[in-house]
Amino acid sequence: MDAQVVIDSYINNIAARLPRKLRNDVGLELRTLLIEQLTAAADDVGRPPDDKLAIEVVRSFGRPEEVAARYSPRGFQVIEPEHAPAFVKLSVACVAIQWALTLPAVFASRTTIGEWWLGWGLGAFAWVGLLVVWFGLATWIRQRSPVDPQSLSRPWTHFIFWLPLAADWRPFDYDAFERRVELGALPLGVVLTIFFIAPTWFLELLTPAGTDTSWALYDEHFRQSLLPALIVLMVVRLALCAAAGIKVQLRARLEGIRFALWVCFVGLLYWTVFGWVIFGNPVVDALFKAWLLIFLLVNTIQIVVSFRRARTRVRVPKILA
Amino acid sequence: MVKASDNSTAKLDTELRRGVVVLAVLSQLRTAQYGYSLRQALAERGMPIEEGTLYPLMRRLEGQGLLLSDWRIEDGPPRRYYKLSAKGTRLYAELTDSWHALVATMDKLVD
C-alpha cells in the first residue's frame, strides 16, 4: 500500500461520516492538507513519503469518526446537561414505582415472572421514552422561543416545561407551605384519631339513633394489642404537629422527633395492614385496608421527600444564625 | 509558555490556550493562508495548534461568516485559502481590544 492510498482511504473513511453537502469539499481540502503534512514529515526524516509515514500522519490527525464529528454541524441536544440529573432520577423513579406496584403479583403467584417481564416489567421503560420526549420538547421550546426574563406573561408551557423564570418569580417556601397544610389538616387528623379510638361511638354520633354500627367493631386481638400503641402515636404526633404549626420557633426543634414518630407511625400502619385483622367484619376490614394503603402510599412519598429535603438543606451554624 | 509539569497543569494550560485560539487564528488570517501554512505560522510564533482542531475551526469560522475562502493554485497543488471577511475583521478588532484589556487586568492581578 503506498502513501497516497493510505491518505485516500483515510479521507474516504472520514467523508463517509460527513453530511452530504460537506463531503466532497471537506474531503478534498483534507486530502491536500494531509499530503502537505506528509511531505513535510518526509522532509523532516529525510526520506521519500511512504505508507508508514502516511499512517503516522493520519494517526496523529485522529480517528475518522472524531475528525468527521469536528466537521459536522453540532447536533440537537435532547436533554441539556443541567437537566440530566433530574432526567435520570425521574426515569429511575418511574421504572422503580411501576415495578414495585406490579411485582407483588408475581410473588402472590397471580402471574409468572416471564409474563410480568414481557408486560409490566419491560413496559416500565416506556416511561423513559416519555421522559425523553418531555425533556426534548422542553429543550426545543426553550431554544425556539426563549422567554424574556423581564416579562410577566407566562405561557402554559412554563408550567410543564420549567422554562426560564418570569420577572415575578419567587422561590417556593416549602416550609411555609408544609406548615399551612399541616394546620389545615389538623381538624381532619383530630376526627380520624377520634374515629380510631372509638369507631362505633363515632358512627353513632353521625347516624340516626338505633342504627346498627356493629360492623365497625374492631377485631378483639387488634384492639387489645396494637391499637393502643397506634392511638398513642397518633395523639402525640397530632400534638406535636399542632405545636409546630402554631409556634413557628418550635418547628426546627421538633423536626427530628416529629419525623421519627411519623416513620414509626407509618411503619406500624404497614404492619397493621399486612399482618393484622383490624375489623371483625371481613368486608369492612378489606375496604379499610385499601383506604389505609392509599394513605400509606401518600405518606411514604411524603417521608421520602421530607427526608431528602432535610438532607439537602443548608444548615446554618448557631454562631451565624 | 507554562511548562506542564504534570497532567493537571497540562490540562489547565490547554484550557487557558483554548480561550485564545480563535483570536490567534483570526490574527494570522489578515493575509490569506491555507490550512497547513496557517498551522506553520502559528507554530513558528509559539502557538502550536493540533491540525485536528485547527482545520475544522477554520471551516466553522467560515460558516459563521468570519472568514472567506477560495481554491487557488499558487506554487504547488490546488489549496483552499482563507482570509478574514469584513465581519471577521470587525470581530478581530473587538477581540483584540478585549484581549488587551484582559491582559492589563491579569497583569495587575498576577504581578
**Pick from B29, B48, B33, B12: nearest CA to B89:** B29
Structural domain ending residue among the three candidates A71, A93, A120: A71
- Quick check: is A319 in a domain? no
- Do residue A29 and residue B56 have CB atoms under 8 angstroms apart? no
Indicate if A184 and A292 belong to the same structural domain.
yes
- Quick check: is A167 in a domain? no
- Do residue B53 and residue A70 have CB atoms under 8 angstroms apart? yes
pLDDT for position A319? 73
**Residue whose cell numbers read 485516500:** A8
The larger pLDDT score, comparing residue B3 to residue A47, is at: A47
A106 band by pLDDT with thresholds 50, 70 and 90: confident
* pLDDT at residue A98 tops 80: yes
Q: Where in chain B are the domains? A: 7-110
Q: Is the Cβ–Cβ distance between A257 and A274 less than 8 Å?
A: no
Q: Picking from A113-122, A170-179, A269-278, which range would have the lowest pLDDT averaged per residue?
A: A170-179
Q: What is the pLDDT of residues A175-233, one digit of tens each?
A: 888 888 888 989 999 998 999 899 988 888 888 888 888 888 999 999 999 999 999 99
Residue B79: phi, psi to the nearest 5? Answer: -135, 155
Average pLDDT of A285-293?
Answer: 93
Q: Which of A28, A70, A72, A74 to mutate to test the interface with B (most CBs of B within 10 A)?
A: A70
pLDDT for position B6? 72
- Quick check: is A321 in a domain? no
Indicate if A180 and A87 belong to the same structural domain.
no
* pLDDT at residue B3 tops 80: no
pLDDT for position A206? 87
ipTM confidence score = 0.78
**Pick from A200, A231, A217: nearest CA to A280:** A217
Structural domain ending residue among the three candidates A128, A161, A194: A161
Domain count, chain A: 3
pLDDT for position A144? 78
* pLDDT at residue A16 tops 80: yes
pLDDT for position A167? 63
When computed from its CA atoms, the radius of gyration of chain A, rounded to whole angstroms, is: 33
Indicate if A187 and A205 belong to the same structural domain.
yes
- Do residue B52 and residue A62 have CB atoms under 8 angstroms apart? yes
Indicate if A116 and A201 belong to the same structural domain.
no
Chain B CB contacts of A71 below 8 Å: 56, 59
Q: What is the pLDDT of residues B11-66, one digit of tens each?
A: 888 888 888 999 999 999 999 999 999 999 999 999 998 888 898 899 999 999 99
The CA-based diameter of chain A, rounded to the nearest angstrom, is 114
**Pick from A18, A126, A111: nearest CA to A69:** A18
User: What is the rounded average pLDDT for all residues in chain A?
Assistant: 87
3-state helix, strand, coil in chain B (%, to 5): 60, 15, 25
Structural domain ending residue among the three candidates A161, A183, A201: A161
Indicate if A86 and A56 belong to the same structural domain.
no
Q: Is the Cβ–Cβ distance between A69 and A20 less than 8 Å?
A: no
Indicate if A33 and A90 belong to the same structural domain.
no
Three-state secondary structure readout of chain A: CCHHHHHHHHHHHHHCCCCHHHHHHHHHHHHHHHHHHHHHHHHHHCCCCCHHHHHHHHHHHCCHHHHHHHHCCCCCCCCCHHHHHHHHHHHHHHHHHHHHHHCHHHHCCCCCHHHHHHHHHHHCCHHHHHHHHHHHHHHHHHHHCCCCCCCCCCCCHHHHHCCCCCCCCCCCCHHHHHHHHHHHHHHHHHHHHHHHHCHHHHHHHHCCCCCCCHHHCECHHHHHHCHHHHHHHHHHHHHHHHHHHHCHHHHHHHHHHHHHHHHHHHHHHHHHHHHCCCECCHHHHHHHHHHHHHHHHHHHHHHHHHHHHHHHCCCCCCCCC
- Do residue A70 and residue B80 have CB atoms under 8 angstroms apart? no
Tell whether A61 lies on the interface with B, counting CB pairs under 8 A: yes
CA distance A242 to A263: 18
Chain B CB contacts of A33 below 8 Å: 34-36, 51, 55
- Do residue A66 and residue B53 have CB atoms under 8 angstroms apart? no
For residue A152, the enclosing domain spans: 81-161
Q: Which fold has domain B7-110?
A: Arc Repressor Mutant, subunit A (1.10.10)
